[in-house]
Amino acid sequence: MAETVHLADRTPQVSAEDLLAGFHPSYRFGEVSFDTYIPDPAHPSQAEAVSRLRDFAASIKGAKGNGKGDGGGLFGFLKGGRSGSGGKSKGTTSAAGIYLDGGFGVGKTHLLASTWHAAPGPKAFGTFVEYTNLVGALSFRKAVDVLKEYTLVCIDEFELDDPGDTVLMSRLMRELSDAGVKLVATSNTLPGSLGDGRFAAQDFKREIQVLADQFDVIRVDGDDYRHRGLTAAPDPLEDDQLLTVLADRFPDAGVVSEDSFEDLTANLSRVHPSRYRKLVEDVDVMVLHHVETITEQAMALRFVVLADRLYDKDVPVIASGVPFDRLFTEEMMSGGYMKKYFRTVSRMTALVREGQMGETGL
């Protein structure tokens, strides 16, 4: 018998140590490698990206005296101990960093995680939002002092739509680069701009300013593999079908979250996004009643973070209400945050397909 929980009733607390503990690839990418990335023969840039990133990871030299190759230095710093930059030997390559430029679902996060796995530690892997949350929890200076002890910092989903956060991350990356830390970042090209060459790369290089010349751009072309070769996204279920489908599809589920969309989003407005990972950490399946189109920008951005945490954990979703391609208004889908919203629609559609049809393809 599954345990049913209600996310709307949860108010998780997260310490700085909890945040730091999450700076590694999620469960979904916990065991990926360059060998498990399957390049699409129709897009040769994918195989080229694997080769270049493999070489980049091999060029990075790990910290001396750290046989674990993990992120333990973060906790050592918080406890008052620092490894000392004199004991570290940094790798040297032609670039301080790599930027992976490409559209949705072409495997950039897989490639980023593969680079992290292949490189020696200590190292950190997180989303753009997780790094900005880390700065908020530790202060900018302490975050720099922690991360500059690392050989590699990977930043997934670098966001170009918030000027304040972009300037913050540009400054953080500059200080880490000056300390010899290697950097790899990803973000998304807009779906309507996929034929425009390095549209996102130009934006990225403009925003990181003085670092731009130190980054090599690797283009990754291709189709959204979350939907490649699969049937169209399923229609939402009738509300009285949800628990029946849950019982049929997931008879051995351990923890099921069941909430109305209204109650869930109301609680998201009370819980800081840095706590969303904790909010869903034990959830195996999500049941959502009466999904509605989100009309407020602040709530839409919070749901983007929740969707990323659900996708990280590969949580199947069973839902009624509007389909997830109508989760955001048309104005939002063509506005300044459209990259975030397209990503969320793609990811939630994949999770619903998995929950209601048993198709992964993720």
Instruction: Of 297, 298, 314, 299, give the one whose Cα is nearest residue 348.
Output: 314
pTM above 0.85, yes or no: no
**Residue 188 class from Cβ within 10 Å (0-12 exposed, 13-18 middle, 19+ buried)?**
buried
Whole-angstrom distance, CA of residue 38 vs CA of residue 15 = 38
What DSSP character marks residue 11?
-
Contact call for residues 6 and 286 (beta carbons, < 8 A): no
Task: Give residue 247's pLDDT.
Answer: 94
Domains and their CATH numbers in the chain: 3-10+227-357 (no CATH), 32-220 (3.40.50.300)
- Tokens 């998995």 belong to residue: 354
What is the SS3 assignment for 229? coil
Residue 131: alpha-carbon gap to chain centroid: 11
Question: Residue-wise pLDDT tens for the chain (362 aa)?
Answer: 789 999 999 999 888 778 778 899 988 898 999 999 999 899 999 999 999 999 999 999 876 334 334 444 444 545 454 444 433 434 444 578 998 888 777 889 999 999 999 999 899 999 888 898 889 878 999 999 999 999 999 999 887 666 777 788 888 988 999 999 999 998 765 444 433 444 456 666 666 666 667 778 888 888 766 555 444 567 889 999 999 999 999 999 999 999 999 999 999 999 988 889 899 999 999 999 999 999 999 999 999 999 999 998 899 999 999 999 899 999 999 887 887 888 899 889 989 999 998 765 44
Residue type, 162: D
Task: Give residue 194's pLDDT.
Answer: 35
Query: CB 114: neighbour CB atoms within 10 A?
Result: 23
